[in-house]
Amino acid sequence: MEEKTNLQKLPSRVKYYLLEWKDSNMNEYIRKYGETKLNDLTLDQLHGLFSYATTKDGALPDVSGCLSQQSEIVRQRLHYHFAKVGGGWNIEGMNAPFMKEFLNEIQKLVDLSK
């Protein structure tokens, strides 16, 4: 079995973002990395390129805003459907032993995205 390249070790959305950015900014990429293929960059170089590209694109603030907005929608639905007035979750009789843990994890994600 072949060993994964550093690019293949990255999450798919990061990998595809970098591939698209490189295609759209080929002259800039060549100026920074010469003829080195994206697949041949080190993890540090890939991280640096991602930071550079997202800062230049301004892509991260847009994603952050979308996450906050979606987080608020999830928070509202979570509390509308499952929250007890005095706190905790209204899940008695659901026959879903994982549900309390699941709802707590979703709540953590909502809280982190604020």
**Quick one: pLDDT band at residue 107, thresholds 50, 70, 90?**
confident
Query: What pLDDT, in 10s, does the model give residues 23-74?
Result: 999 999 999 999 999 999 999 999 999 988 888 776 555 566 677 778 888 8
Secondary structure (3-state) at 101: helix
Selected residue with higher pLDDT from 110 and 101: 101
pTM of this prediction?
A: 0.50
Q: What is the pLDDT of residue 34?
A: 93
Query: What pLDDT, in 10s, does the model give residues 12-24?
Result: 899 999 999 999 9
Q: How would DSSP label each residue in 17-81?
A: HHHHHHHHTHHHHHHHHTT--GGGS-HHHHHHHHHHHHHHHTHHHHHHHHHHHHHHHHHHHHHHH
Residues 87 and 77: their CA atoms lie apart, in Å, by: 15
Residue 46 burial (CB count, 10 A): 20
Domain boundaries, the chain: 6-57, 61-112
Task: Tell me the residue length of the chain.
Answer: 114
